[in-house]
């Protein structure tokens, strides 16, 4: 079982051998011609020279703002970037505290508590749940530039809330479920995972890359990851205790309440950044969480390309 985990790693390694470095990486090293070749390959219709000029300007700003980590943290913890810091740290925390890794780590125990038995049920069913989660990521990728980031993220969290409600119902009825309730329990775990990968799983790191100027972007992403891992440790440490002491219903009531809090947090703080270049998004945070009225308009395609390239 452990050896099989090497197979996708080998496939990814072979694919990465053919992957060029990003245009941003080439520009950081003064290799503009190679950066131009990469951008031309990505989108032959783009105004490559203009994008390279913008990238060079962003890199110059990043160099000008470099300093100690303490100084950068101090800048993140005061206006105008305090709101962005609260958003990315809170978002990273909610990604894990709502319980996704409890499902990933302990699915066999949860299925066992629902009455499932046998190796296929306790190992095969969690695998099916993860396959459904993978499919939800691809659906999210197809829809995100049509519907926007906020609708996708809020829809995913809403599905998680509904899944928690379903799981609470299943566990409340009794531990000897049988038949329909057992199937509903499986459906609840599947919906929880699908909701997570559709929303949080597909979009959280996009927001991490968009919320700070170039000089703070790496540190901002690290802050989100740290918050994410702290919540992950907390969930891994307490989940089995919760499941044993308060039962499945109590456990998923807690996760449901946290999902509701996550929904409110995202609804209140997450901007809709579809179709906006990174410079516009930076002005949003610098303007106290509102879009500047004089912000230049951008097409959806241009905004997506600029956000992708600058994040790289």
The 10s digit of each residue's pLDDT in 225-260 is 999 999 999 998 998 888 888 888 899 999 999 999
What are the Cα distances from residue 59, in Å, to 172, 218, 229, 273, 283? 56, 13, 29, 22, 18
43-76 tens-digit pLDDT:
788 788 888 888 887 777 666 555 567 777 777 8
CB neighbour list of residue 143: distance below 8 Å, 6 or more residues apart: 152
Q: Are 145 and 274 in contact (CB under 8 A)?
A: yes
Domains and CATH numbers, the chain: 75-274 (1.20.1250.20)
What are the Cα distances from residue 301, in Å, to 23, 150, 193, 210? 18, 18, 30, 16
Structure tokens at 190: 């599947």
What are the Cα distances from residue 49, in Å, to 29, 37, 178, 294, 298? 17, 11, 64, 25, 17
The beta strand positions in 233-285, using DSSP E, are: none
Q: Are 27 and 52 in contact (CB under 8 A)?
A: yes
CB neighbour list of residue 301: distance below 8 Å, 6 or more residues apart: none
Query: Token pair 């703080």 is at which residue?
Result: 269
- Quick check: 183 pLDDT over 60? yes
- Quick check: 309 pLDDT over 50? no
Query: Token pair 């530039």 is at which residue?
Result: 145
Least confident of 90-94, 109-113, 143-147, 263-267: 109-113
């Amino acid at each position: 079982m452990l050896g099989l985990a090497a197979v996708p790693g080998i496939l990814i390694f072979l694919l990465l051998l053919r992957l060029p470095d990003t245009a941003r990486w080439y520009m950081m090293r003064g290799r503009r011609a190679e950066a131009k070749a990469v951008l031309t390959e990505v989108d032959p219709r783009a105004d490559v020279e203009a994008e390279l000029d913008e990238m060079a300007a962003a890199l110059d700003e990043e160099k000008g703002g470099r300093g100690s980590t303490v100084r950068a943290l101090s800048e993140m913890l005061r206006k105008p970037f305090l709101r962005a810091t609260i958003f990315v740290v809170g978002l990273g925390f909610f990604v894990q505290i709502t319980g996704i890794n409890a499902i990933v780590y302990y699915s066999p125990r949860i299925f066992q508590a629902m009455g499932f038995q046998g190796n296929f049920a306790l190992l095969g069913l969690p695998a099916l749940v993860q396959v459904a989660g993978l499919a939800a990521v691809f659906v999210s990728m197809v829809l995100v530039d049509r519907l926007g980031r906020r609708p996708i993220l809020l829809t995913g969290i809403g599905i998680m809330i509904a899944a928690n409600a379903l799981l609470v119902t299943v566990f409340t009825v009794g531990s000897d479920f049988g038949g329909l309730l057992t199937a509903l329990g499986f459906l609840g775990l599947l919906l929880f995972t699908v909701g997570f990968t559709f929303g949080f799983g597909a979009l959280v790191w996009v927001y991490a890359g968009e919320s700070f100027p170039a000089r703070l972007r790496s540190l901002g992403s690290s802050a989100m990851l740290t918050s994410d891992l702290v919540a992950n440790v907390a969930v891994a440490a307490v989940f089995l205790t919760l499941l044993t002491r308060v039962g499945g219903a109590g456990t998923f009531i807690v996760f449901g309440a946290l999902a509701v809090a996550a929904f409110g947090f995202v609804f209140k703080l997450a901007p809709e950044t579809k179709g906006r270049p990174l410079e516009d998004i930076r002005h949003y945070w610098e303007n106290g969480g509102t879009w500047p009225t004089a912000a230049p308009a951008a097409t959806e395609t241009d905004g997506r390309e600029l956000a992708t390239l600058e994040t790289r």
